[in-house]
Chain A
C-alpha cells in the first residue's frame, strides 16, 4: 500500500483543494507556497517553533485517561488529547505560532485573520503581541455578540477588531472580508488563516502545524497502551484540530477515523453546518471541497450553536478522506452537543468548548455499550470558558447579577 502523500504540488487532494483566487492574490500564494516549502525544512525554524510549543503553549498536551466516562459508557477506553490546556485555551495557537514565524521570515509587518468563535482571533492576537506585529481581526457581528469574552481578550492583547456586518455576519463573511483586505494590502500583509480551509498552501500548512497533536498522541498512546488506538474522534469546522489529530495516523489502516460536524437543528434542515453530510462539492474561499450551496452554486448560510463550527465549507483534505473512505463523518445537533457539554463537565470535571462537545456527543451516542476493550482518543481541542454565556442562555440559567 502506498504511503499517504497528499496534497500534490499544486495543492490537490484528489479532485479537491487547489487555488481559486483572483490574479491579485495568485502570485502571493505561489510565493507563500515556495517560502513555506523552504522554511519548513529549516532546522532553525523548527527549533524555534518547538521551543515556543514547549515553553509558551505548554506542549506536549497530556493524554488523559477519562476513567469516569469510560465507566459510564461501558464501551471503549476513552482518552482525551487535552489541547484545551494550551495557552489561550484551544488548539488554534499551534497553527498561529507556525504561521507568524513564517510571516516574520517573509518580512511581513501586518497580520490579519478571520475568527468565528474568537479562539483563532485570540490566538492570532496573542502571537502578534508576542512578536510585536500589528493585528487586525475580522469577526462577524453576530459572533461578536455570542463570543463577548473573546472579543475583550483580543482587545486586551492589542488587536483591532473589525466587525463584519454583511451576509451571514459570521465566519464565512469574516473570511471574505479578510481576503478582500489581503487583496488590498498584498505587499505588507500576512493572512493567518485559522483552519485547514482556503486556497493552497493553507490547508496543508495548517494541517502540518496542527499535526503536533497527532504526533504527540501517537507517541503517548504507544507508551501507555503499547498499541495504536482503534478510534480517533474530533469535531470538524474547517477541520484543523481534526486534521491535526488524524494526519499522523493516516497510514495506520486499522485506526478508524471519525469526524463530527455540527448538524445545527438537523442536517436535513436549513439550519445546519454539516457540510459533508448536507453539502455538495463546490468552491468557497479559494478551494474546491464540500460546501453548503443551492442548485445555482450560491453559498448558503450555516447554523450551529457553536460559533467555531458555524461554517458552510470544510477543508479539502476532509472531502478527500470522506470520498475515499479513509474517514467517516457524522452530524451532531445543537441539542445533543449541549447535553454532552454538561455531561462531560459533571463526569470528568472538564468544561469543554461547544466545538469538541460535538465530538463528545457522538462518543456518547455511538459508543454506549459498544466496542468494549477498544481504545479511543478524542481531541478535546478547546475549553468552555468562552461558551459559558451561550450555554447558560440555552440551558436557561440567568448569568446577570
Chain B
C-alpha cells in the first residue's frame, strides 16, 4: 500500500525540509515536530553540493548539513527513524540524480522500500527516467513528476501518462524560494493540467504565507501546496536558535493547515 493513493481530494499540504539541517541531531527534532503536525506529505530533501534548481535558502541548508559531514546513508536512516510515527502521512524523498547514482540505483531504492512513498529527482527529465522508474515501480515507490510553466500541453500529456502520487507544479520559472506568485498564470496552467490528468496537482516554489495557501486552494483547481524555503528561512531569521525555531515552526505549520 502506498500512502500517496489515499491523499484527500483537496487542501493537501506538503512540507519540504532538508535532511541533516542544521545538524543530524537537530534535524531529527525538526522532523519529529513536522510529523507531529500530520501534514499529508513530508518531503525529505537530500543535501547536494551543487543544487542547481535551488535558491539561496535551500543551498545554505544543504551546505550546513554537508559541512557537518552528513551522508546519504545517514539521511535515509533518519527518514526511516521518523517514519515510525508516519501514520497516514506520505513520505517523499527529493534529491538530485548524482546522489542516487553514487549510492547505486538498486541499493537506494532498496533502502527506501517500505517507508518512502515517492521520489522527486529534480534533474532527471522524462527523457532519462526509464531505468530508475522501472526499479521504483517494482518496489511500489512512485516517481513524482515535475511540470513547469515552460512545459507545453503536448509535453505535459507525454510526461503525465501513467502518473502516480501527485504532480509537482512549479509555480513559476525560477529556483526555489524566489519569485512572487502569479495566481492567474498558475490558475490557467493548472486548469490545462486538470484536463490531462486525474492525479492530484500540488503547487510549489514561492509558497510562503497562509494567504498563498488559501488562494491556491480556493482560487485555482490545484489540490494543494508545497512549502519549503519559507520554513527553512525561519531558522535563519531566528539566528539559528533551535528551541525558538521549533516553537515558531510548530505555530507556522498549524497556521497553514486547512484539513
Contact = CB atoms under 8 A, between A and B. Distances in A.
A298 B175 contact: no
A179 B148 contact: no
Contacts of A295: 102
A31 B12 CA distance: 34
Contacts of A285: 50, 52
A321 interface: no
Contacts of B152: 27
A28 interface: yes
B101 A172 contact: no
Majority DSSP secondary structure for residues of A touching B: loop
Nearest to B102: A297
B48 A20 contact: no
Nearest to B159: A23
A282 B98 contact: yes
Interface in B16-66: 48-50, 52-53, 55-56, 59, 63, 66
Contact of A297 (B56, B63, B103, B151): B103
A24 B128 contact: no
Interface stretch (A180-188, A211-219, A345-353, A393-401): A180-188
Interface stretch (B82-90, B119-127, B185-193, B245-253): B119-127
Nearest to B128: A18
B147 to A, nearest CB: 6
Contacts of A23: 125, 146-148, 150-151, 159, 170
Contacts of B127: 10, 19, 26
Contacts of B123: 20-22, 283, 286
B105 to A, nearest CB: 12
In the complex, which of the residues B59, B97, B122, B150 has the most CB atoms of chain A within 10 Å of its own CB atom? B150
Nearest to A11: B127
A299 B123 CA distance: 15
A19 B124 CA distance: 8
Nearest to B149: A24
Given A20-B124, A176-B52, A285-B52, A184 B178 contact: yes
Nearest to B74: A296
Given A20-B124, A21-B123, A184 B174 contact: yes
A282 B103 CA distance: 11
Given A186-B150, A295-B102, A297-B102, A27 B155 contact: yes
B173 interface: yes
A233 to B, nearest CB: 31
Contacts of A24: 53, 148-150, 170, 173-174
Contact of B59 (A166, A183, A184, A293): A166
Interface centre among B72, B125, B170 (most CB of A within 10 A): B125
Contact of A28 (B53, B99, B150, B179): B150
Contacts of A25: 150
Contacts of A167: 49-50, 63
A198 to B, nearest CB: 11
Q: What 7 A-B pairs are tightest by C-beta distance, nearest first?
A: A297-B102, A24-B148, A297-B98, A298-B49, A22-B53, A283-B98, A23-B146
Interface of A: 10, 18-28, 166-167, 172, 176, 179-180, 183-187, 282-286, 293, 295-299
15 contacts: A19-B127, A21-B52, A21-B125, A22-B53, A23-B125, A23-B150, A26-B127, A27-B150, A28-B150, A183-B173, A184-B173, A184-B174, A297-B48, A298-B66, A299-B50
